[in-house]
A and B are shown apart, each in its own frame.
Chain A
Amino acid sequence: MKLETTAHSDALLIKVVEDRIDAASCIQFKDEMQAATVNAPARVILDMGQVKFLDSSGLGAVVAVMKACAPDTRLELASLTPIVAKVFRLTRMDEVFAIHASAALAFTA
């Protein structure tokens, strides 16, 4: 699981450099995200633009990371591909997360 982190003044940008977060990789994703978000600032933007597949195990891992970050850090999402956006819509998790069209737009928000 490859994650690229970039520190901004008031937020941490984490880009997932993987095609999929699925049952075979969700535990690794969760562990590496939790390590990457230790002492994180108030906002973490997760850029999922390269993720072309997310199943319910992957979604569960994203939710777990968000819960682990709260309340001091808010996990926000950016650049969801159409099928990944659909997973969030179908499970109504799009109502729970702040979702930005792109990482750049997340920083102007």
Chain B
Amino acid sequence: MVPKTPMEIPDLVLDFIIPATNLAVRRLLHGLHLSLLSNGVAQPDVEHTELVLAEVLNNIVEHAYADRQRGSITMSAHLLQHALAVELTDNGAPMPKNHLPVGEHISKPAIYDLPEGGFGLQMIRALTEKLDYERDGEHNRLTIQIPRTQGAMC
């Protein structure tokens, strides 16, 4: 068995810089989806990754850049043997109190009380094994690790 090294060399590195818009997010996700599939990542893992990244990217567009006309998002994704490690940075507003909000668990509420938002963080937390946020000067930096559950080659 190969010992785990702290600086594993990724099988694939994907870097993106996009304007902070919903359509640019959609195009990035489409490109990432195809790249991961063609690099042997199993379909369910690709779909989980697309979902997690959609949620974090949408949050940046809708919250970090909520009051601004322009902004950009930088994303670097490293495909490792057992996970996809992703770093996202933006120059938008910081998270409230400089911390990730705690995901509220939605129990089965009455129909009129059903929330129409707040589902994103719940899904992010469920599908990631590592999630760190840091405010660095004028930047937000989010590091995420999404596990590969199937087909990782050893």
Contacts and interface: CB of A to CB of B under 8 A. Distances in A.
Interface of A: 20, 22-24, 53, 55-57, 59-61, 63-64, 66-67, 70, 82-83, 86-87, 90-93, 95-96
Contacts of B107: 92
B47 A56 contact: no
B112 A55 contact: no
Given A56-B123, A63-B115, 7 more contacts: A22-B58, A24-B22, A56-B120, A57-B58, A67-B112, A67-B114, A91-B106
B119 interface: yes
B115 to A, nearest CB: 7
A64 B25 CA distance: 23
A23 B25 contact: yes
Given A23-B62, A55-B51, A70 B116 contact: no
A83 B108 contact: no
23 contacts: A20-B26, A22-B58, A23-B26, A24-B22, A24-B23, A24-B25, A24-B26, A53-B29, A55-B54, A56-B55, A56-B119, A56-B123, A60-B119, A63-B114, A66-B114, A67-B111, A67-B112, A70-B111, A70-B112, A82-B47, A83-B47, A83-B48, A87-B51
B45 to A, nearest CB: 11
Interface residues of B, number: 31
B119 A22 contact: no
Contacts of B115: 60, 63
A66 B111 contact: yes
Contacts of A87: 51, 119, 123
Contacts of B123: 56, 87, 90-91
Interface string B40-81: 000010011011001100100110000000000000000000
Nearest to A69: B111
